[in-house]
Amino acid sequence: MAPIAVGDSIPDGTLAWFDENDQLQQLPMHSLAKGKKVILFGVPGAFTPTCSMQHVPGFISKAEELKSKGVDEVLLVSVNDPFVMKAWAKTYPDNKHVKFLADGSGTYTHALGLELDLSGEGLGIRSQRFALLADDLKVKVANIEEDGAFTISGADEILKAL
């Protein structure tokens, strides 16, 4: 399956999220993104070094600036269960805008065409590192990293595109 690209529509799919009241919610992607400008960024795994120390903190620290440029939602997706994503989110007490969405079985990541096989490292099927900017479900920017790099999928690169 070809990876999602500029001009494509973001696929629908359901992701799990613990809301601000600590209730597990099943969120259809189209209900989060239809009629809105959203950033959807993905990481190979919760609590992993680059994800935890660079990628996620970049979007958290730039969230207000992204919102000021018209972004309605900043959505993080990872192939992890919702309890792991909840625990990971709690390690960022200053986060007010990034939703930590769980793609427990990798179904949504597969629909994006962004699966990454890390079985050789004992991690199984995960997500490539990426950042998408979509407006009313249409992908306007698709920054997909190669080979574990972190060069084009950060918040600063999305800000440049806004």
Chain-centroid distance of CA 144 in Å reads 12
Grouping H, G, I as helix, E, B as strand and the rest as coil, residue 104 is coil
Mark whether 51 is an active-site residue: yes
Neighbours of 146 (CB within 10 A): 9
CA distance 121 to 61: 30
Question: Which of 39, 40, 51, 142 is the catalytic position?
Answer: 51
Give the tokens for residue 56. Answer: 């996620």
CA distances from 146 to 8, 26, 44, 69, 149 (A): 20, 30, 12, 28, 6
Catalogue the active-site residues.
51
